[in-house]
Structure 1
Amino acid sequence: MTEFTPWMSLLGGALIGLAAVLLMALHGRIAGMTGILTGIIPPLASDWGWRAAFLAGAVVAPAIIAATTGLEIPFSSPTPAPWLIVGGLIVGAGVYFGSGCTSGHGVCGIARLSPRSIVATLTFMAATAITVFIIRHVAGGL
């Protein structure tokens, strides 16, 4: 069962939007996680410092919230690890061929009214809906 958390989701979305706006305003860069990550994998980009800080903030912020509020952030998956690895590789291929990820296209691209990003995001969402339908209703809810 999926738990819907509207207030936490709204706050999280607002923080993602704020981070994207600040990164664009202060550095003139798009907050696409794949592009940011690419710059800290050797060979390092010349601007690797802000990239590392951005990614560290994305990892450390939930830990700080959990530590200061007592909020438990469960991290588990009923999906077997090999399936997660295969899924990650498929997503990686999609990111490569789609020239970006959901954060770059969905958050930043749509905000800039980029037709390419709108089409890419619609494609991501359609593929997600089809995959969830197949997994839950055709394959028996693996």
Structure 2
Amino acid sequence: MTAYVPSLLGGALIGLAAALLLLLNGRVAGVSGILSGLWRAGSPRLENAAFILGLAAGPLLYLATFGRFPEIRVDAGVPTLIVAGLLVGYGTRLGSGCTSGHGVVGLARLSPRSLVAVAAFLGCAIATVAVMRLAGAS
């Protein structure tokens, strides 16, 4: 039971941060939009940079607090990770947002577009896991 506490706390903090950004600044916490806003004219660049730096500081704060990172195993090679990252970026542009914007904030705002986007994200994820399990089983 206690193994889920860090995930629960992390999710609560993400929700709190997204709610505060929306309530205090009137902005949706979509990471892809905030990241692309660093290069877009007329966008609040200082706020966007602070948000991205805060995301990058999170692992450093974790390391300072706990002294080490949990073990994470990635079986894919670097070329696969690069292709996967490019596909995620393309999908983010195609879907007009990422999982944080649609899944965290869009669903909370009862956005029909976000509901469709999240259903597509989850459907693709479920299909990918099923295919990978079948491929590993043979």
TM-score, normalised on structure 2?
0.90
Matched residue, 2:66: 69
Gaps of 5+ in 1: none
Say which of 19, 23, 26 aligns to 2:24. 26
Deviation at 1:71, TM superposition (A): 4.2
Q: How many residues align?
A: 136
Describe how 1:34-73 pairs up with structure 2 within 5 A.
Answer: 34-40=32-38, 42-73=39-70
Q: Which amino acid in the other structure matches residue 117 of structure 2?
A: A
Q: Which amino acid in the other structure matches residue 136 of structure 1?
A: R
Contact 2:29 2:101 in 1 (8 A): yes
Aligned identity (percent) is 49
SS in structure 2 of the partner of residue 26 of structure 1: helix
Matched residue, 2:78: 81
Q: Aligned-residue CA RMSD in angstroms?
A: 1.8
Work out the CA distance in 2 between the residues paired with 1:74 and 1:34.
27
**Structure 1 segments (4+ residues) deviating >4 Å:** none
Q: Which amino acid in the other structure matches residue 107 of structure 1?
A: V
With over 3 angstroms needed to count, the CA separation of the structure-2 counterparts of 1:76 and 1:53, relative to structure 1, is farther
SS in structure 2 of the partner of residue 19 of structure 1: helix
TM-score, normalised on structure 1?
0.87
Say which of 118, 122, 125 aligns to 1:125. 122
Work out the CA distance in 2 between the residues paired with 1:63 and 1:17.
20
